[in-house]
Structure 1
Amino acid sequence: MKYLEEPQLSWLNSVLGSYEIGDRVLNGKLETYSCKKAGSDKRLAKSLELYYQQEIEVLATDVLGSSPLGPLASPATRKLLINLISTMNASFPDYDFSAVKPEQFRKVLDFRIALQCINHDLAELLEAEGNGSVEKMWEGIAEAMKLDECDVYSYIPDMDSDPFSDGNLWSFNYFFYNKVQKKVLYFTCICKGLTYDTDTDDETMEEPATMDDDGEDVMEDYFGMSSDWEDGS
């Protein structure tokens, strides 16, 4: 996966590098990659393809069809999984995500869910950055990716073996995947307490707030959808 420089996202990457809010600190980034593989990416792709082929041979057909991204028997599903895993490996070179299970990924059927969750989780940061920060963020993302051509996916962390565990209060991971451009934008953020307290494991995170008018306007501007859009219409 080749990293693609996106100057319009540099301001947010700079802010998200380490941003303190009260007793918490946010660490996040937005990175875009070409899906063209070279070197270690090709080796990883071959290794994962072999693994998935072996899984196809040993698992029942009904199990294969239960993957949130589609059946492993489908070459398109395997290619998608390999691209998502390769993106995470490129973004976090100190970790190996090759053992990530297909069921740890989800397709976001309604773009509003991803937009709303990102805006909610970064609300304090964006407010502190000043008026227009939400619009500036999504303008940069829209400039980097043709959002109306993108499928959106999320990753559910393995709390025992990846960088999104070990005392984190919350995290999000979204992939904006453009098959036409053969390009993916990976947007990830981790929130930790400045002083780790083991009791934080028992804390319950708030549900995302109901989308306000500004959120609906952003959705319509950058995803090319009206606020009454529903999946399948």
Structure 2
Amino acid sequence: MALRGLSGKVVVVTGGGGGIGSATCLRFAAEGARVIVADIGAEAAEKIAAQIRAEGGEAQALQVDLTDYEASCAAVARAEAEVGPIDILVNNVGWDLFVPFLKSEPDFWSKIIDINLRGVLNITKPVLASMVARKAGGRVVSIGSDAGRGGSSGESVYAACKAGVIAFMKTLAREHSRQGITFNTVCPGVTETAMLESFMEAAGDKEKLRTAFTRAVPMGRMGRPDDLPGAILFLSSDDAAFITGQVISVSGGLTMHG
């Protein structure tokens, strides 16, 4: 059975050009949503949008640097003018490297914060303002991380940002629930993406780390990008209309929060 309320909806997925983002774009398209693949890489975004169109879906690429507030606002205005009002926003974009805190420097902190926290703020504000003005409800799902729930060695600033995203979603849920807009967070565990590969390269002894990650997961494997869209789409659907301010981990049992 298809999830209710996704067909025909306009959805923006940030970081949609790869990993969890591209898997999510493809699943939204399969449910009949009109997908805007937002990414800093124009070529990566267009590749996924073209794949969706080739499979009979509706999609277009949107190149945007989410660390730039004015560019984010302009991109939202352009998307709504060309495609239509945004019904669903998935804040997926993220980046990290393995750097113990005492070996990190403020320039690195700024980059991590700009991408993982400020980028969420920059795109959410114009999308949310449009949702509120239309009085038609909406869905915002942010991709957090279990690092933001339980900490993660070598990811201090990233974990702080993801904890911030979780708190940001909970606060917006309190501020806007009466307007029919829901805000929830999906937290991946260790997931096989390009970002994880870069993280393990920076940490050194990549294969040893891969083995350790795999052994740590009760289900016996690391996550894959295709493991995440189910939870993301559910929280974006009418089936989750009475769910807001919540956090769900998709981690194979690596973390189990009550």
TM over 0.5: no
Higher strand share: 1
Work out which of the two has the higher radius of gyration on C-alpha atoms and give 1 or 2.
Answer: 1
Relative contact order: is structure 1 or structure 2 higher (C-alpha 8 Å, sep ≥ 6)?
1
Higher helix share: 2
* TM-score when normalising by structure 1: 0.28
* TM-score when normalising by structure 2: 0.27
